Amino acid sequence: MSDFLLGNDLPINRLGFGTMRLVNEGAWGEPTDREQMRNLLRRAVALGINFIDTADAYGPFIAEDIIAEALHPYPSNLVIATKGGITRQGPAKAAPCGRAPYLHQCIEMSLRRLRLERIDLYQLHRIDPETPLEESLGKLAELQQQGKIRHIGLSEVTVDQIKQASRIVPIVSVQNKYSIAERKHEAVLEYCEQHNIAFIPWYPLAANRLSGNEALTDFARDRSMTLSQLMLAWLLQKSPVMVPIPGTSSIAHLEENVAAQSLQLTAEDANALEQLDTAPAS
């Protein structure tokens, strides 16, 4: 596995594991089989994954609990990233809340659920347009100084927002929606490369909505890859700061994804892939 040095001091394998699928649809409610989700996490670690991304909003709260149930006491090299700063109103329903007292509570509760004394990477889940960024990130900086957070990241932001945030506190990661099918954040990726900021694409497999795309499926098959492997191999070769976090509830799919790290695309293949029509099949 290839590594990235998060915050210049935490080596992580560049293929991580996202945990939204540990809970029910719409990131809401208990999984059908909680023990299966614990086994899935244990298998991910056994396969060499040492970067796990979660959020208090997954469940809400359930994914963090399952991570601790499955993996605590944690391996010394395991990096757990979590997020806070949104509230849940139901399945796939959320709203940002960046007020300092709320974020303080989010962090304290994540520490408790994850059974940690310090969160290695805490990410502001969304910037709250109703709260000054100085208030939100100022609280994270305060808790960082207290030793409760090691590094701070952002999610779903523009280059200007990263610059604004970086004037308040060092930013080591950005988590934006990005895949072969959705590349509107190229400028953000370029900025992250220039400043050695981890770019963590969420929905790196486009939420499986491309499974019926014949052009992509044929392209993958001709290179002895599954569609998921093709998309992950492309991401991993796209940039040295790219840290995909594909999620799944299936051990077989997890193993398929991990195998993508050993697959290579030629420069010609990568260019050809980027020219394909990546619209979902109608």
Enzyme catalytic residues: 58
d(CA 265, CA 230): 8
Alpha helix stretches (DSSP H) within the chain: 34-46, 62-71, 100-114, 133-145, 159-166, 186-194, 214-222, 227-238, 251-259, 267-275
Q: What tokens appear for 218 in the block? A: 């044929």
SS3 82: strand
Strand partners, 3: 13
Burial 240-267 (b: 16+ CB within 10 A, else e): ebbbbbbbbbeeebbebbbbbbebebee
CA atoms within a 13 Å half-sphere pointing along the CA-CB vector of 15: 29
- CA 239 distance to own-chain centroid: 16
177 touches 206 (CB < 8 A):
no
SS3 6: strand
Cis peptide, bond prior to residue 60, ω within 30 of zero: yes
d(CA 192, CA 199): 6
d(CA 12, CA 2): 8
